[in-house]
Structure formats: C-alpha cells, structure tokens
Chains A and B, each alone.
Chain A
Amino acid sequence: MNDHQKQLKDLVARVAQMNGVKPKELTGNISYYPIEDTWGVSVGLFFIENDQYITTPEFLVEMIDHSLETCFSKINGELDKLLAATSN
C-alpha cells in the first residue's frame, strides 16, 4: 500500500474516532495545486456522493504546505495537542 494512502486512511480513522462517527462517513483528501507547488491534506464531511465529485466540503481538518509529508506531520501534531488539551 502506498505510504500516503495509509497515512490518509489512518488520519480519517483518527478524526472519525474523535468525532464519534464511522470512518466511512468521512472523506480523506490529498490535493496537489500546481500554483506555488503546494499540497493539501484534509478530512471532510463529504466530497463524493454516488461516485460523483461534489465541490467544497466542510473540512474538519485541513493543512496546506509545500510538502505532503509536512501536511501529515502538522495535522497529526495538531490533533495530538488537541487530545492532550482535552484529556487534562
């Protein structure tokens, strides 16, 4: 399995658990924007409906950076901080 695919699946599962929903209810997304060579990673409420692309979901988490790896790292770091803050 591609490493980014696994990272995205893990992220969807994590965000789903934090929101008390099933992973299949959420949509994980990796985007590449050629302008400025930037990447985006997000988990949203929808993007696909009956296999059709629907524009602009409401994102639960979203990170944009010049590195895809940094997107994942930052987003997981923010979730770590959020969990730590709420467990105290």
Chain B
Amino acid sequence: MENMDLNFQNKLIGIAEISKYYTTKGLDTPSDEIDVELVIKDGKHHLFVLHYPLEDKNTITMLLKNSGESFSQLVESTLQHFYALGQKTPLSEYPSPEEQTRWNEQRKAIIAERLESGDIKPVKLSGSVIIDENRDIIGDLL
C-alpha cells in the first residue's frame, strides 16, 4: 500500500511538472503557478490542472479537466495525456536556442488547438469568495 501511495503522489507531481510547459508562457512558467486538484463532489471524481499567473491572480486558466470513476484512473489518464503532449513536442534536457524556438512553435500550435476545442479555458470566478487568513477554520466548524 505504501508503494502504491508513493506512486500515486509521484504521478501527481509528474502532472504538475509537465503541465507547466503547456501554459501560454511555456518554459517561462514557474512551478508556483501550477496547482493540481483532485476533487470529490456529489460522488463524482474530478481532476483539474490550474494555472495561476503571478501577474494577475484573477485570470486563472484550467489547463485540463478530467472526470472519471476514481482518482487512480484520473491521475493515470491525465499523466498519459501530458506524456502524449510531451512526445509530440520532444525537448532535450539542455535545449539549444534553435531547439527552444522549434519547441515553442510546436507547443503553441498544440495550445491553439486545445483552446479552440475548449480543453483550455478560463476558470469561472465566484462573487461570494470569503478570504480571511486570520480565521480559525477548524474552530468555525461547530
């Protein structure tokens, strides 16, 4: 069980690491702009990969939404999705400027396709957000 859990977590980390290259900024996207969310709502399981640009926290973009029967299945299929994108746009560990340019062109073409198909889209903002960092969240329960 421990190895399975470790594997599950490593796969989530892998999703975050690969998905950051498929924002509009590509190689210039810092890790802290990506968030991978596993969500259970009303018995349904979802996985979201979100991009929070540092310059404008209100323009959050969903890089991927995946829904399915279980977290394991969602994590696996999402990782395969990003692996497939990576295979379409191979990049060496230390890319030359020419390779980076070529990679960026391929990557932008994929992003354009994904924007058009609705795979990538802005996240809806709620008007009822309550943010209070000083709040004792646990203490509010009862």
Contact = CB atoms under 8 A, between A and B. Distances in A.
Nearest to B138: A78
Given A5-B71, A34-B13, A78-B138, A55 B130 contact: no
Interface residues of B, number: 50
A61 B40 contact: no
Contact of A34 (B34, B40, B70): B34
B39 A33 contact: no
Interface stretch (B93-101, B108-116, B120-128): B120-128
Given A5-B70, A35-B32, A68-B9, A60 B131 contact: no
Nearest to A56: B129
A86 B142 CA distance: 9
- For chain A, the bracket of interface size reads 35 or more
Given A34-B31, A48-B46, A62-B137, 14 more contacts: A2-B8, A3-B4, A5-B70, A12-B40, A24-B42, A27-B39, A30-B39, A31-B37, A31-B38, A53-B50, A53-B65, A57-B126, A58-B129, A82-B139
Task: Specify the main secondary structure of chain B where it touches its partner.
Answer: mixed
B70 A1 contact: yes
Interface in B44-67: 44-46, 48, 50, 60, 62, 65, 67
Interface of B: 1, 4-5, 8-9, 12-13, 15-17, 20, 30-32, 34-46, 48, 50, 60, 62, 65, 67, 70-72, 123-126, 128-131, 137-142
Q: Which are the 9 A-B pairs with shortest beta-carbon distances?
A: A35-B32, A34-B31, A48-B41, A30-B38, A28-B40, A24-B42, A5-B71, A34-B16, A32-B36
